[in-house]
Structures are given as structure tokens and as C-alpha cells.
Amino acid sequence: MKLLLTASGLAAVARVAATNVPLHFQVSNNEPGYGLSTREPGWQLQLDPVFDILGPFPQHAREQHYLNPLYPLDSSDLDEWTTGTRKQYYSSLVENGMVGWSNATLQDGNLAVAYPTIDWKALRRTEGWAGLQHHTLAHSKLVLTPIEQGESCTPPMLQAELRQVSFFAISPEITANHTLKWHAGNIYDLARAPMGVMPFPTAPKCNETTVYHIFASLDYEIRLFGDPLDVEKSEAPIHRSSLKFSTIDPSDGIRREPKLDLIPDLVDGWLFSEGFIGLGFMCGNQSWELASIESTTKAFHAGSWLPVQVRLAPGQARVLVFTLHQIERYTGDSVSLLIRFRDSRGGAPSLELDITIPMVQKPAWTVDSEYVYKGTYLLAGTPTYYMAKPPIKCDPQAPVVVALHGAGVEADHPVWTSSVRRQSSSWVVFPTGGTPWGLDWHGISAKSATSSLQALRATLHLREAWNACPTMEQRMILIGHSNGGQGVWYIASRFPSGVLAAVPAAAYIKSQQYVSTGLSHGAHFADVTLRAILDATLQPDDNDLFLTNLVSTPILAVHGGNDRNVPTWHSRELVSVVKHWYPNANVSFHEVPNKPHWWNEVLASQEVQNFIDGAVANLPSVEPPSQLTVTTALPSESGHVWGISIAQMSVPGRLGRIFVSRKDDKLFISTANVQIFNIRFDLWEKPFRLEFLEVDGVEIASHWVGGEKWFIKKDNAWEPTLFPTELPRLTGPMSQILSNGPLFIIIPRKQPKLLDMALRISFNLLTYLRVDSQVMFDDDESHNLNRCVPMMIFGGRENKFGESILAKRPSEFKFTDRGWTLRGHEYSEPGLGVAFLHPHRPRCSQLTLFTSATDDAGWERILRLLPLRTGIATPEWIITGPNTDRMGVGGLLGAGFWGNDWEWNEVMSWTQR
């Protein structure tokens, strides 16, 4: 890429600070490039193709976030490469129970690791897919050599792209008890992930070769790699990964990351969006703030969306949100923007980037057109997109069909967008879920389904021609395949009032039943009470528990009879459970003989289309059922069932249920673990008005029966009210912190090493979930730290902003100079880490996540547990220790949920002390 400076030569770079004359660069979208780039003597980087391999070791999916990625080694074993001693380690997967080191060779950047001598067939016979999942430790060396040797040099930056690798670490020459710094790899092989850029762990030598060690955690999961019988035509699973490293020149500027961009289509010359766009950037060695943005394409005005000062921390990748206000029709193929940045330490704008963004032009829809249109909107403060397929004929009363893709599928992939028929009168929307994997259509990913529908409605109102084809029906027809089919069960059973009908295809029940967690390594060491608390953390994801809420939702479950990816019994069992609760439920099962996991007509068959057409033609005006059960785990991620919703549980972390029975004009309610609930009586006025209400055997005064009412349990008695004086708090697990971004990460200025840790978390959130984050210092007044936004607070007493929050609202955790205390017990030993949720401030419903550690090893343990993927059991507070490295969850020192007022929750807490 060519950089064009307004002044000639590198001398102009040196004059910037003195003259405040901004540097100007042109950046195309074809390839990434830095502003303020300097050419240094070149370096040659070589990755030793021969890898040392240690494995396999049994584990269940996601367990690598608890275990040390170096498992079975620990820091005391790292001198093996210095002494030449190679031990053997216990593994139940191999004959005689002991494994040693072997080798595998890199081919064109790709590494394949297999263990063909193991009797995988026997393991499969007794343990199923769970017996195939395993962990491998891989080790090799990076050799960095200066091309022009001398006494001084500027070290390069390391650029790393590791696909289908869980974690990796780069280390200088190893000594015993050395703490490795672990980076997350791109285990999902996401195509639109940012490139990892980092400094080498130590400065390389300028006049000779420097050798670095690389360790990689290779974790074989069935969901990621598939059944080896189908994928490899072999009993032996093969872990395939890609490991590529390169060097780039250091820079103080900003590099474009165009593959992170999110740009809407132009439909007949007009943006198919309310104007939100996302542009990807990677910051260099210094911190920059956004100063201004303007469009040099006259058809648009450009602006920044975030109401706070936008900052890029050194080394941070972000997708910045901008708005394009269109003032006239535009038929060009690109838009030009001028973006100015200033040094975050203050001063006038000193860096200008001319950015050219390619635009996709599509004609307006007609009866015969087959175009699918890309729209953009904000999801938790981060730009994302959806695809929309218009109807053949417009009908404002027709519901929208929302289609959820399977794991690893991009929403704009033509095979996916063509898999659902163009409907006669309904729009079809294809949301992203954040990324192709996201959170398995749970949490923030579930929000993308409903938010994309709202974004389509808002977009159609922008143009008179589009407004002729609106969608007024608030409920959606929800369909999906594989992981998306599972997402259909999830969303429909949590928000049944928003789902008119559902078609889950090739769906699994929940991850624990897709591949059993019975071979958990950590479970061998964990107290059963601790295991129960960790299981409660995953309970909100258990679709089968919430099928009680589908009392009135028409459902057609579809599954191929020869599905070797998601066994057909999952759909059979889901339908069976619904029928167990409601024998007359409108739920049917269509099993297609001999069909595999995917076939082109899985969602386009005549059976599916007839079901969709029937739902559109017969918008139900159903009378309330005579009996129903409302089930809730997370009130913040649950809607109402026939106007009845649970707002707070008596014991957070446990399931809450309401059992409802109606007899003529009388409504009888009994509750289980419910503290606050809500009723909209207007939904129960068919066939006649309610006149009587009984809750847990006590009659409620008749004047409270009608309209919308809240019921609060006080002193074991129910008190009705028009509205609660205080809204119930958000309850965990920790992933709740991600639902209402963007996320602010606050680090203490006096602990600069925490910046690296904050950047690793920021990078992971962007890679895996498309969640944006802003990194700030604890004394950063200019950025208004007191905004009501979700926050991660890094550090204990050294973080002054965090201390100010705890001073206003104390926690059961008390930070000390050496660590922290919990209920009188001190935690100050080496290697400890802690994370806990806490309220932000009065009249703010957002959450704050505090994290701290007693040393670098403790930080590495707790960072791996911060919310990133589904299936990682992280309740509202957790304490890790050195034994976590080898024992997984069995090495935890404590975990639990808080009470409703953030107090100690005895029945849902466990400590080792």
C-alpha cells in the first residue's frame, strides 16, 4: 500500500509535534496500512516447522478456559527444553495410561495432529463423542534475525494469525517458574476477525538471531471439527490448525482493518440503513482520539455516533461507529471520508486519513427480482448487519420471517440467504448473531434477532418508496437450522409473546447433551456443591427447562432422518418434552427419511412453506389456556407468557416458576422461587373478564384484578402494586456484562502492565462476539467515567475509580494492599485471581465486573474466564488459584451468586475456606 505524505521524507514526521501540522495519508480499502509508518532495517522471521507434541488428554468442551493451556505442564516444567529432559504424563486415552512427546510437521502453515495408535473406536463405543474430545500441547520455535545487523535497531511487531487454536504464548528463552502470557487464538476460524499484533516478549538482538518459544493449546471439540468418521473418513480425530507469523514495522499511527468494516448496501442509490457504518482500525504504539470525520463525497454528511470521546489505546483493534446522513441520491461505487485523529494527550488534530469505502449498488426490489439487501444497525453499541429478502407483494400486516444461521455460517453467504424461499407477503431477515458463532443465539446474540427486525422497520420508513412495503406485525415467524434451530427453541421459549410460529430444523437441545460433559477433568476434583453452582451458571442455556413457556406457540420441528452431525433424537426429545407439559400443544415433528444434517430444501420444502403460509394467513387470536407454567432463569432475558412474567427470583441463580390455572373468571397462581412477578390482565379477558385472583392460596382483593399489576413478596406475603419502587437488579452469569455495550474497560494508570491485559480482553471480545470496548485510565475525567455503561474494572486498591464505586456501594469483597478478603478470610497468596459482578452506581441498571489478582500468574488464570464463549461456567463471583491449572474447576477457591440486594447468598455460594 502506498502512503502519501504532504511533506517529503521522514523528517516531516519528526516535525509534527513542533508544528502541529497534521500528517495526511490516503488509505484504500483494498489492504490494511498504517499512517505514520517508518521503514526500519528488515527482519527475517522463521517458524520451525517441526512441532513438539504432547497429548492427548481428555477434557470436555470449553474446559481449556479453566485448565492452564500448558496442561499437563506447569511453570516448573518449562526448563525441559533447557535440560533436554522430557517426562511422561498420565492420560486415560492411551494404552498403559502414559503419554510422551512426539512430533508433527507444519505444511504450508497448516498443522495436523492425530494419534492413530489409540483405540478411538473403543472409546466411542462407551463414551460416545465425548471420548473423542481432547487437549494437545504443541511447542515450536520462532527465529528472528536482523537482515542488516548493527549495534542498535528498532524491534518489529509480531503479527499472529492462529486459526483453530485455543490459546498461544510466545516466550523468550525459558527459565523455571516463568509465567507465560496467553493470547486467544481464532479457534472458530472466523474469516472477519482482526489480525493479532503484539510486541515480542523481549527485545530481539540487533546483531544476531533471537529465538522465541511458541506454545499452543490445541483442543479438539466435536462442534468445531465434526465427527472424524464423516470429516476424515477415519476413527481417529485429527486436529487441524493454521499457524502463521510475520513481522511488521512498528508505528505510532493507525492501521486500517477493512475486513472489520460494516457498510450497508445502496438500494436504488439510497443507503439501506439509518446511516450506521462501522470502520475497522488497529492502533499503533501510541493512543489516539477521534477528532472529527467528514465526507468528501457531497451526497453524504458524516458524523461520530458515540456520545463520549472515542479513544484507541496503543495496540487496540476497534470498529468505530460513524453515521452517514444522505442528502441526495448517489449512484457511485465508493464513498470518501476524511477522518482526523489527535494525540490522546491533547493538542490539535495531528493525523488525517483519507479513506475510500467501496459501496455495493443494488436495484430496488420488484416482483421478479431476487436481490437480498444488507442493512446495518447498532447492537449493544457495536455496528452489525443483517440481510433482508423482500416479499413478492407487500402486506403491512404480514409478519417477518427471521432466519437464524448455523454455527460458522456468515449471514450474507449466498447459500444461506437462498435457503429460504422469497415469501409472497413477508420479508425474510437473516441476522448475524454478532459473528458466525457468537453466543449460540443466546444473550447478546439473541438480541440481534429482534434488533435486526426493528432495524428493518426503521429503514423502511426512511424512503417513501420503501414505506409502501412496511411490516407492522410485531411478532415474527422464527426459523433456523442447526445452531440456528437451537436458537429458535431458545428465543421462542424465552420470548414466546414475540414469536408467532417457529420452525427449528436440525436443532440440538443444549450443549451438554450435544456432547456429554461427563468426561470433565475438573469434575474429578470438585465438591458436588461447587459443581451444582457452576451448573446453575449454565442453566439459562438449557432449552429443555423452558419449554413450559411454549403453551401456545405453533411449532414445526424438522430433522433429517440420517443426520450424523446433530442426531435426530434431539428434535424428537424436544417435541416430546413440550407434549409432556401440554398434550394438546400445536407442535409437530417432520422427520425426513435418509436426509443428512443439511440439504438445500431443509427450510424451503413444501411442508415448511405450508406451515409458514398457514401462520401468515391465520394470525392467531388464541384464547388464554386453562393451564400453563412460566419458567425463568434470567428475568432480563425473558419475556412474558400470556402477560405473566417473573421479574425477580427469591434465590438468584435458581430457576423460578409460576403455575397458572384458570377456571372461568377465576385465576389461580402458585409460585416457586419467585420474589416479584407481573401480570397483564388484559390478555386474560377472553372469553370473559377475570374477577378473582388467588396467589399461593391467598385471595387478592378484587380491585387489583385488572390492567397491569406487580406483585412483590414481603414477609412471606404478596403485596400488589402498580409499579415497584425499585427495579430488580440484573442477575448473572458474568456474560450479562456484554448485553448492553459498548463495554468500558478501566485500568489504573499506576499499573501500565494491565493495559496489555485489557487489550487482550478487548481483542477477544471483538474477535469472538463483535463487542466493542473502550480502554480508559482510572483518572480519565475527560471521558466521563460516571456514564451508565457496562464496565470492567481491572485492579484492586490501585484502581481509584473502582475504589470510588466500592466506597459508594460496598461489596462482600474488600480489596487490600496484598489481595482481598471475603467474609473475613484473606486471599493474598501467590497465583490467585478474582472476578465479581457489582452494581455500577445508583439509578444505573448496568453492571460492573471487577477483576484482580495477586500476581501475573493469577491474572492469567482469571483472564481466561472472562466472558468470551458459551459453555464457560462463570457465576456472579469466582476465585481461582494455582490448582486451577491442573484441576480445572476442582481447583477453584470459591464461586457463587449474590442475593437480590448484592448481599451474601449462602445457599448459592461455595468457598474452600
CA distance 51 to 103: 6
Percentage of the chain exceeding pLDDT 90: 79
Amino acid at 718: W
Q: What is the mean pLDDT of residues 177-183?
A: 88
What's the pLDDT tens digit per position in 256-304? 999 999 999 999 999 999 999 999 999 988 899 999 999 999 999 999 8
Of 362, 390, 422, which residue sits at a domain end?
Answer: 362
Q: What is the pLDDT of residue 22?
A: 42
| 712: in domain | yes
Q: What is the pLDDT of residue 380?
A: 86
| 11: in domain | no
Checking if the pLDDT of 468 tops 90, the result is no
Identify the weakest region by mean pLDDT among 422-431, 601-610, 685-694.
Answer: 685-694
| 727: in domain | no
Checking if the pLDDT of 813 tops 90, the result is yes
One domain for residues 905 and 879: yes
Long-range contacts formed by 220-223: CB under 8 A, 24+ apart: 220/56, 220/132, 220/133, 220/134, 220/135, 220/136, 221/61, 221/133, 221/515, 222/61, 222/129, 222/132, 222/133, 222/514, 222/515, 223/61, 223/407, 223/511, 223/514, 223/515
Q: What is the pLDDT of residue 663?
A: 93
- Cell numbers 411442508 correspond to 607
One domain for residues 899 and 849: yes
One domain for residues 792 and 885: yes
Q: What is the pLDDT of residue 84?
A: 64
Q: What is the pLDDT of residue 251?
A: 82
205 DSSP 8-state letter: P
One domain for residues 612 and 633: no
* CATH code at position 860: 3.30.379.10
CA dihedral 907, 909, 911, 913 (to 10 degrees): -50
Checking if the pLDDT of 116 tops 90, the result is yes
One domain for residues 91 and 236: yes
Whether 47 contacts 106, CB under 8 Å = yes
* CATH code at position 428: 3.40.50.1820
Identify the weakest region by mean pLDDT among 134-148, 372-386, 488-502, 684-698.
Answer: 684-698
Q: What is the pLDDT of residue 686?
A: 78
| 528: in domain | no
Q: What is the mean pLDDT of residues 60-75?
A: 91
Q: What is the pLDDT of residue 510?
A: 94
Q: What is the mean pLDDT of residues 826-843?
A: 93
One domain for residues 556 and 412: yes
Q: What is the mean pLDDT of residues 298-322?
A: 90
Q: What is the mean pLDDT of residues 189-214?
A: 93
One domain for residues 828 and 798: yes
What's the pLDDT tens digit per position in 694-752? 999 999 999 999 999 999 999 999 999 999 888 899 998 999 998 887 899 999 998 88
| 8: in domain | no
Q: What is the pLDDT of residue 80?
A: 66
Owning domain of residue 757: 734-911
Which residues are paired to 791 by β-bridges? 744, 848
Residue 307 banded pLDDT, cuts 50, 70, 90:
low
One domain for residues 812 and 855: yes
What's the pLDDT tens digit per position in 323-340? 999 999 999 999 999 999
* CATH code at position 332: 2.60.40
One domain for residues 260 and 137: no
One domain for residues 832 and 872: yes
Checking if the pLDDT of 140 tops 60, the result is yes
One domain for residues 716 and 782: no
Helix axes 753-769, 856-863, angle to 10 degrees: 10
Checking if the pLDDT of 33 tops 50, the result is no
Q: What is the pLDDT of residue 347?
A: 72
| 333: in domain | yes
One domain for residues 259 and 326: yes
- Cell numbers 449460540 correspond to 440
| 342: in domain | yes
Mean residue pLDDT across the chain: 91
What's the pLDDT tens digit per position in 472-514? 888 999 999 999 999 999 999 999 999 999 999 999 999 989 9
Identify the weakest region by mean pLDDT among 11-15, 169-173, 828-832, 870-874.
Answer: 11-15
Q: What is the pLDDT of residue 790?
A: 92
Q: What is the mean pLDDT of residues 764-781?
A: 91
Please name which of 432, 273, 534, 455 lies closest in space to residue 769, comparing C-alpha atoms: 432
Of 251, 284, 315, which residue sits at a domain end?
Answer: 251
Q: What is the pLDDT of residue 696?
A: 97
Overall number of domains in the chain: 5
CA distance 607 to 586: 15
| 539: in domain | no
